[in-house]
Amino acid sequence: FFSKPEMLRLPRLLPMAWRGSRSSRCVHTSDKICLKGMSFGGYHGVLPFEREIGQRFIVDVELLVDLAAAGASDDLQATLNYAEVYAEVKRVVEGPPHRDLIEAVAHDVAQSILGLNNRVETATVKILKPQAPIPGGPILEHVGIEITRHRG
C-alpha cells in the first residue's frame, strides 16, 4: 500500500507540559509509571444501597513522567514514589466525599495525583466497577470508564 518505508512511520503525538514558571521549554515524554489492578472498597454510586453497603472498585493509573533523571541516577527523589501514588488513590476511592458517578471519582483521582507531584505531566485513570447494578441488565464482567487529565 505504501510505496516508501518512511510513509509507514506515524508522527508521535505526545502530551506536553510546561515545567513551572522557571522554564519556558516544553517537555515531551513517553515515559510511564503504571499501577494496575488496585482494588478498593468504596461507597460511590447513584443507587442508595451502593452508598450504604459499598462495593469493590478496580483502579488502573498510568502517569506520564520524565524518568530520564531517575534512570540515570537510580535515585528515588528523581521519580515518583509508587507507595505515595497508591496511598493517594486509596484515599480518594475509599474516602469521602462519596460520588454518584465513577467519572467523578476518576476525575478526583487524576487531579489529586497531578497535585501530588509536579513531575506528573498526564494522569490516565481507569476505574472498573465489577458488580455494577444494571436493573434488568445482563450479567457482565464489569462497567468502567477511563479519563485522561493533563497538567495545566
Residues tagged active-site: 129
- Cell 484515599 belongs to which residue? 91
DSSP 79: S
Residues with Cβ within 8 Å of 137's Cβ and at least 6 positions away in sequence, in order, are none
Q: At what angle do helices 82-94 and 102-116 cross, to 10 degrees?
A: 150
At residue 145, the 3 state secondary structure works out as: strand
Residues with Cβ within 8 Å of 108's Cβ and at least 6 positions away in sequence, in order, are 92, 99
**Whole-angstrom distance, CA of residue 140 vs CA of residue 13:** 34
